């Protein structure tokens, strides 16, 4: 393994650093995008059971005990209940965009790795072939086996670049889709929550006047 890395030249070192960055962000995003960190099941159940403002203290208590993306958004909505519904929705959308940025943090790094790793591998191969053919021009090589071995070593960086880019692409695609799914789910939960807390209480129906009240006092 060590000989494989050393034979790749200076570009192999860059590829190793790139792979470490990729693995770091893949693991970090995997931990950050766990469902209980974004949409806890207990809080989702409480929101489904919330029927109005009378149930808000219980929901707020649950949000404060277990911080998550959903809990922060619910607390934002609850803090602005004194505003009109439209103003509350605008404030909630602003906070939601901030939370979405946090969920997507690191995905751009994986996207960059997907594009950069194969290019670094190709540069490493070109660098290796340039050195190989330069030495051949100066000293001459009559053994085809030596030439084949030199080309194989030069191609190591291309293979390394692809080995880094493929899992990074899979992770980036999976996490991007996961963030989109969470965004849709959060929007649905919060829209339903706001609809319930801003629901106007039903006014009791007035009974119709009796025949005696309609006729007026007896003369």
Q: Return the HEC string of 63-108.
A: HHHCCCHHHHHHHHHHHCCCCCHHHHHHHHHHHHHHHHHHHHCCHH
Residue 131: its pLDDT value, please?
74
| pTM for this predicted structure | 0.81
Question: Band of the pLDDT at 185, cuts 50, 70, 90?
Answer: very high
Mean pLDDT score, 142-165: 78
Mean pLDDT estimate for the chain: 84
209 pLDDT above the threshold of 70: no
Give per-residue pLDDT as tens, 82-132: 899 999 999 999 999 999 999 999 999 999 999 999 999 998 888 888 877
């Amino acid at each position: 393994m060590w000989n494989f890395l050393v034979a790749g030249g200076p570009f192999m070192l860059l590829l190793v650093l790139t792979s470490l960055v990729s693995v770091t962000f893949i693991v970090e995003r995997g931990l950050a995008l766990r469902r209980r960190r974004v949409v806890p099941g207990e809080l989702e159940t409480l929101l489904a059971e919330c029927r109005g403002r009378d149930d808000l203290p219980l929901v707020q208590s649950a949000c404060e005990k277990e911080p998550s993306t959903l809990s922060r958004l619910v607390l934002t909505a609850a803090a602005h209940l004194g505003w009109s519904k439209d103003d509350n929705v605008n404030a909630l959308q602003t906070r939601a965009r901030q939370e979405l940025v946090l969920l997507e943090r690191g995905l751009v790094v994986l996207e960059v790795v997907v594009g950069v790793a194969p290019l670094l591998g190709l540069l490493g191969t070109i660098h290796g072939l340039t050195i190989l053919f330069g030495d051949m021009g100066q000293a001459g090589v009559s053994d085809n086996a030596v030439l084949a071995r030199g080309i194989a070593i030069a191609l190591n960086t291309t293979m390394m670049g692809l080995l880094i880019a493929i899992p990074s692409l899979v992770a980036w695609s999976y996490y991007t889709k996961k963030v989109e799914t969470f965004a849709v789910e959060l929007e649905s939960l919060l829209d339903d929550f706001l609809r319930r807390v801003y629901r106007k209480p039903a006014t009791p129906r007035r009974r119709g006047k009796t025949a005696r009240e309609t006729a007026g006092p007896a003369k």
